């Protein structure tokens, strides 16, 4: 089993629960046993009998048995949330005849952005939310984008508006994000929403999806946030900064680490909760982490790997193989925060439709 290889992010990868208190979670594997992309060298091998029908045996190394970190399964939690949304969307449709609608705008030809938009559209379909898509060429005028946003702001069938970032260089991101009605700002990037997030006693209409997904994972796994020391690595407007604000609202004591921070490892080592949103593969090593900490790894970083069909694989900001031997729980990459981001977008769209139509 190579937890970092392509098999670990196949569509069939899932967690196996060994059913005992303090349970060990291991991923289903394809292929030979092998641990570690960051230098671990397993020597001892054990055989486990899985509780399955028919019973299966699984060979794992002692290094793996010692690695008791719980895997925070974002894919599974996101599925639960999507099922809840499906039920609510259909309840709303039956009760008041309203179907939530999400408008997604893609400007330019970036392949990654096109994939994200396609995934968001598919996710809407899967829960019964209507999606409206606008694609504009790279050289479109900003006024054209603003006109679409204005139309969506006025369209009663649209409850959420998302402009896929990054925008082409000639466009002013601030102008465009400010144009989205605060009542339909399901990405939560409008300065008024971020401002309210930062202020005590104010409630934002929407919270940015990725950081919201991080906190939702902590809640659904029952990790206490109140009173804990939290470190957020990264301070971007879309992940790091709102993640820090959210943790603070949950009564954690929060420190932000960024590219100019001196001795980041010493600061991270103090943290009970680490949220990393940096974009540097395997930057956070096992030695940076406090034993028993909970780690949410937002980073999605492609690294070259000739053994993978696409020639690369995705890794997080945190060196997973080292970290899972130190911490009590960690999100995998992929399969951690990524699926939660889209689930939160759907959740924000549903909340928006409920709020606009005063539906409880
Ligand atoms: P970003 O805008 O590039 O921000 C990166 C942040 O990391 C910046 O605040 C930067 O500090 C900090 N940083 C960079 N190098 C550092 C270093 N060596 N030490 C400490 N801090 C450092 O990135 P982002 O949009 O927040 O995304 C971060 C990562 O999350 C990326 O891998 C991205 O693909 C991923 N992501 C995942 C999801 C998801 O759904 N899972 C969603 C969004 C993003 P400065 O401010 O000082 O420059």
Mutate to test the pocket of ligand 1, among 279, 281, 333, 346 (most ligand atoms within 8 A of CB): 279
**At 279, is the pLDDT very low, low, confident or very high (cuts 50, 70, 90)?**
very high
Q: How far apart are CA 125 and CA 115, in angstroms?
A: 15
Mutate to test the pocket of ligand 1, among 164, 244, 260, 278 (most ligand atoms within 8 A of CB): 278
What pLDDT is attached to residue 68? Answer: 76
Whether residue 36 is predicted with pLDDT greater than 60 in this model: the reply is no
Whether residue 48 is predicted with pLDDT greater than 90 in this model: the reply is no
What pLDDT is attached to residue 65? Answer: 53
**57 vs 29 pLDDT, higher one:** 57
Whether 97-187 and 70-76+205-340 are alike in CATH topology: the answer is yes
In the reported structure, the alpha carbon of residue 331 is separated from the centroid of ligand 1 by a whole-number distance in angstroms of 17
**pLDDT tens digit string along 230-256?**
999 999 999 999 999 999 999 999 999
The domains of the chain are located at 9-66, 70-76+205-340, 97-187
Whether residue 271 is predicted with pLDDT greater than 50 in this model: the reply is yes
Whether residue 63 is predicted with pLDDT greater than 80 in this model: the reply is no
Lowest mean pLDDT among 31-35, 50-54, 143-147, 206-210: 31-35
Residue 344 CB–ligand 1 contact under 6 Å: no
Closest atom of ligand 1 to 213 CA is 40
CATH number of 70-76+205-340: 3.40.50.720
**pLDDT tens digit string along 100-137?**
999 999 999 999 999 999 999 999 999 999 999 999 99
Residue 119 CB–ligand 1 contact under 6 Å: no
Among this protein's residues, is 187 annotated catalytic? yes
> What's the chain's average pLDDT?
87
What pLDDT is attached to residue 43? Answer: 36
Backbone angles phi, psi at 341, to 5 degrees: -60, -45
Whether residue 23 is predicted with pLDDT greater than 60 in this model: the reply is no
Which residue is closest in CA terms to ligand 1's atom 39? 338
Q: Tell me which residue of 317, 286, 285 sits closest to 301, measured CA to CA.
A: 317
**pLDDT tens digit string along 322-332?**
999 999 999 99
Residue 330 burial by Cβ neighbours in a 10 Å radius (0-12, 13-18, 19+): buried
Among this protein's residues, is 164 annotated catalytic? yes
CATH number of 97-187: 3.40.50.10860
pTM given for the model:
0.85
Give 327-359 as a 3 state SS string: CCEECCCCCCHHHHHHHHHHHHHHHHHHHHCCC
Q: How far is the CA of 206 from the CAs of 133, 192, 202, 233, in angstroms? A: 21, 10, 12, 23
**Mean pLDDT across the stretch 55-81?**
77
Q: How far is the CA of 307 from the CAs of 3, 75, 137, 310, 316, in angstroms? A: 14, 24, 35, 9, 18
Q: What DSSP line would sit under 213-261, residue for residue?
A: HHHHHHHHTT---TT-EEEEE---TTTHHHHHHHHHHTT-EEEEE-TT-
């Amino acid at each position: 089993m190579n937890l970092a290889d392509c098999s670990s992010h196949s569509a069939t990868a899932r967690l196996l629960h060994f059913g005992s208190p303090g349970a060990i979670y291991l991923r289903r594997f394809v292929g030979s046993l092998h641990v570690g992309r960051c230098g671990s060298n397993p020597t001892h091998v054990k055989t486990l009998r899985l509780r399955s029908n028919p019973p299966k045996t699984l060979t794992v190394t002692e290094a793996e048995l010692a690695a008791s970190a719980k895997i925070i399964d974002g894919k599974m939690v996101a599925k639960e949330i999507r099922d809840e949304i499906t039920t609510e969307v259909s309840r709303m449709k039956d009760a008041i005849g309203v179907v939530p609608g999400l408008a997604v705008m893609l400007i330019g030809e970036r392949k990654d952005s096109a994939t994200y938009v396609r995934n968001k559209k598919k996710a809407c379909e899967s829960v019964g939310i209507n999606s409206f898509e606008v694609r504009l060429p790279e050289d479109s005028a900003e006024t054209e984008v603003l006109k679409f946003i204005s139309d969506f702001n006025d369209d009663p069938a649209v409850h959420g508006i998302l402009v896929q970032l990054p925008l082409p260089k000639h466009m002013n991101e601030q102008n465009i994000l400010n144009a989205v009605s605060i009542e339909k700002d399901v990405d939560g990037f409008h300065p008024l929403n971020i401002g309210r997030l930062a202020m005590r006693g104010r409630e934002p209409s929407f919270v940015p999806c990725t950081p919201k997904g991080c906190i939702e994972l902590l809640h659904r796994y029952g990790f206490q946030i109140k009173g804990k020391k939290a470190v957020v690595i990264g301070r971007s407007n879309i992940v790091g900064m709102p993640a820090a604000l959210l943790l603070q609202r949950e009564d954690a004591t929060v420190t932000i680490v960024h590219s100019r921070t001196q001795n980041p490892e010493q600061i991270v080592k103090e943290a009970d909760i680490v949220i990393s949103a940096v974009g540097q593969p395997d930057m956070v090593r096992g030695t940076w982490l406090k034993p028993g900490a909970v780690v949410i790894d937002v980073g999605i970083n492609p690294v070259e790997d000739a053994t993978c069909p696409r020639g690369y694989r995705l890794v997080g900001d945190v060196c997973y193989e080292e970290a899972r031997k130190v911490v009590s729980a960690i999100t995998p990459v992929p399969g951690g925060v990524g699926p939660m981001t889209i689930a939160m977008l759907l959740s924000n769209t549903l909340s928006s439709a409920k709020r606009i139509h005063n539906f409880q």
